[in-house]
Structure 1
Amino acid sequence: MTASALFHTCYQDLLNGPLSHWLNTLPQQMDSWYRDDLHGEFKKWQRLLGKLPQVPPGNIDLRESVTVGDASSTDPYTQKQIEGLLRQFMPWRKGPYFIHGVHIDTEWRSDWKWERLKSHIEPLKGKQVLDVGCGSGYHLWRMYGEEAAGVYGIDPTQLFFIQFMAVKHFLGEAPVHFLPLGIEQMQPLKAFDTVFSMGVLYHRKDPMEFLNQLKSQLVKGGQLVLETLIVDGDEQTVLMAGERYAQMRNVWFLPSTSALIVWLKRLGFSDCKVVDESVTSTAEQRTTSWMESHSLQDFLDPDDHTKTIEGYPAPKRAVIIATKN
């Protein structure tokens, strides 16, 4: 398979829609990625994808979950085959998914995050949507379930791309696409009605540059949906973590919501609103049989769950929406 074949339907959707100018750079980037960046595991994963059985999708629910078929839509042997192959793509971090009776019980209950934000954002029906740092693509399917016209996710992690392709195998053709890119590789398209970024900002050494990169993907008047780790405080409060935060090495800046709104306004956003603040619980992020390594419970102070193991405030997340001027 070539990159052109792998991304053919994506290119066709771009060609026929308002994002056609993305084709000025994207095919060359995907050719380079496919030629130069793939490691041995990816080729093995591709072979495993090819072994996934062809099963009619049956009933599909993307409004309340990401579900295709149920336990009665295939025979027990095929169901075991599906589960066995999907387990080859562990760890599964974002979900959950329900595939012909197989429950992929992911580390994160990403459906809870979606429920917290979906009533606050502008309707996605008929819109072009980008999710920056989309993980395995769980929220891409929920966006499509809200009748978005075109849904695009970017994330450089190869395993997440494979997990997305495995789910898409069962859901079938849809204008929902995953591109293995980082935001820094994106040309400023200025073409998306809504840009999501959930769980990425605190991983960036330069949060202002990152917010500007998100802004450069939006049409004028488009909406940014930003979800990130925060700390309590005023407009001046920003925590810069040490070597680790909740055992994560790549955490940089955790602002208060007030500080974050100052940042967004300085960068040219308006109508900035905090629509949710939630302390992350060990029920929302936890070890499962589909993600067997350490999770949030192991990253908190065992004697005081209001603190991380390093002594910082325990993970608290906010959702902020803002409009590009």
Structure 2
Amino acid sequence: MSNTYDDPSFFTAYAQMPRSQHGLDAAGEWPDFQALLPPLAGQRVLDLGCGYGWHCQYAAAQGAQSVLGVDSSTRMLAEARAHHSAPGITYEAGDLTTFTRPAGSFDVIISSLALHYITDLADLMRRIAAMLAPGGVMLVTLEHPLFTAEGREQWVTTTTGERVWPVDRYFDEGARATQFLDHTVTKYHHTLSTLLTDVLAAGLTLTAVAEPRGTAADIAQHADWTRAPMMLIVRGEKR
């Protein structure tokens, strides 16, 4: 996963975002994500790309037996340890492209807005499936393929003055250089079919797919959320 988040100026800008300051309540996709979470009481939870640790804190508050938050950013982990520590939560530096644990180590594996930094999703899904115990659940959020395809991740204005979301190079999977918080960030575009096929090929049963639009209050403030999907949520189970 990219270490752009360890760049001091980038991290300072990231810290000003509403979701950084207010956590899950400021994340438009959270209601959809929360609704798809299994009961967490007594569960062993892994958060891949844990960032500030908001999801780890939530899992611990729900009674999880243990919570492991993994991130490649030392600044993110420092923030998580400082503000979202609780009994049962452990934070660890780790690269999502290689991270693994013994088979059946976790009952629930979650990831929020980290998978679009991964080039080989098939390998990651195989490792997730292996780390899950039988009956375990994977729940991940990533940027929607229609959001990442063209690369710039910006609305454009047509010659007639209409604002539209550009979709181009959809089937050209791979790296995209985009501007995020005034920094160039590399993300990886994957088609919807590639993503879902990777989940199934790993041996997981696909149990839900969601395209969050936010709450009514979110939509009232950000009407664009109803015009083009920004995020995708995928849920799989190890049956």
- TM (normalized to structure 2)? 0.68
TM-superposed deviation, 1:192: 0.4
DSSP-derived class of the 1:147 partner: coil
Name the residue aligned to 1:273. Answer: 208
Distance 1:238 1:210, change over 3 A: farther
Which residue of the partner structure matches residue 53 of structure 1?
none
Tell me the residue number matched to 1:212: 126
Aligned partners of 2:29 and 2:213 also within 8 Å: no
How many matched pairs? 197
* Cross-structure match for 1:114: 30
Corresponding residue of 2:139: 225
- The residue identity in structure 1 corresponding to 2:53 is G
Whether 2:51 is the aligned partner of 1:125: answer: no
Deviation for aligned residue 1:96: 5.1
In 2, Cα distance between equivalents of 1:190 and 1:110:
33
Unpaired segments of 5 or more residues in structure 1? 1-40, 42-88, 98-103, 285-296, 298-304, 307-312
Partner of 1:70: none
Correspondence for 1:199: 113
Deviation at 1:213, TM superposition (A): 2.0
Match of residue 57 from structure 2? 141
Cα distance in 2 between the residues matched to 1:214 and 1:238? 25
2:100 pairs with one of 180, 186, 194: 186
Counterpart of 1:318 in structure 2 is 232
**Structure 2: unaligned runs, 5 residues or longer:** 1-5, 150-169
Partners of 2:200 and 2:76 lie apart in 1 by: 33
**Partner of 2:74 in structure 1?**
158
Aligned to 1:92: 15
Q: Indicate the percent of aligned positions where both proteins have the same amino acid.
A: 18
1:280 Cα deviation (Å)? 7.8
C-alpha distance in structure 1 between counterparts of 2:26 and 2:90, whole Å: 19
CA drift at 1:119? 1.9
**1:260 aligned partner:** 195
Question: Alpha-carbon deviations, 1:264-283, whole Å to 9, x = none?
Answer: 11221114321x202589x9
Which residue pairs with 1:245 in the alignment? Answer: 178
- Give the structure-1-normalised TM-score: 0.52
Q: Secondary structure at the match of 1:118?
A: helix
Paired residue for 1:177?
90
- Cα distance in 2 for partners of 1:241, 1:280 equals 28
Q: Deviations over 1:125-148 (max 9, x none)?
A: 110100000001011111112221
Question: Match for 2:211: what amino acid?
Answer: E
Q: Tell me if structure 1 keeps the 8 A contact 2:119–2:174.
A: no
Provide the alpha-carbon RMSD of the alignment: 3.4
CA distance in 1, matches of 2:38, 2:125: 20
Distance change in 2, residues 1:143/1:95 (3 Å):
farther
* Separation in 1, partners of 2:54, 2:141: 15
- 2-structure distance, mates of 1:280, 1:158: 30
What is the letter of the counterpart of residue 182 of structure 1? Answer: D
Could you say which residue in structure 2 is the equivalent of 1:74?
A: none
| Structure 1 residues 262 and 277: alpha-carbon distance in aligned structure 2, compared to 1, 3 A threshold | same
Given that 1:229 and 1:318 are in contact with CA atoms closer than 8 Å, whether structure 2 keeps it comes out as yes
Deviation at 1:158, TM superposition (A): 0.7
Bigger relative contact order, structure 1 or 2 (CA pairs below 8 A, ≥6 apart): 2
The letter of the residue matching 1:317 is M
Instruction: For residue 126 of structure 1, give the secondary structure of its aligned residue in structure 2.
Output: coil
